[in-house]
Amino acid sequence: MKRPLLRSSPFVRAVKRVVKKQPHVASDIQAALKLLAQDAFHPRLKTHKLKGPLEGSFACSAGYDLRIVFRIVKYEGSEAILLESMGTHEEVY
């Protein structure tokens, strides 16, 4: 099921910061977002539930050490993906 992607301000800032430091990962991020919209639980994304302070959110892989944190929300009568944050494993957890 295709879900629209809703980009939060913290997510947009995080993407800009990551791409500024590592321009070569921009294509990996785009590919992960495209796949995320198509199937949030595709095996390549390695999507998993988060615990602790991030409980209720999910994380998926956008490259070797990049993670996208998101939540599945209701939006205009259907499900959408709210992109909450992005960064390295250490930055987002």
Domain ranges of the chain: 5-92
pTM equals 0.93
Q: Write the burial class of residue 63 (CB in 10 Å: 0-12 exposed, 13-18 middle, 19+ buried).
A: middle
**Tens digit of each residue's pLDDT (9 = 90 or more) over 38-86:** 999 999 999 999 999 999 999 999 988 899 999 999 999 999 999 999 9
**Residue-level pLDDT at 64:** 85
Choose among 63, 2, 3, 6: nearest CA to 31: 63
**Residue-level pLDDT at 1:** 73
- Architecture field, domain 5-92: 2-Layer Sandwich (3.30)
> pLDDT grade, residue 30 (50/70/90)?
very high
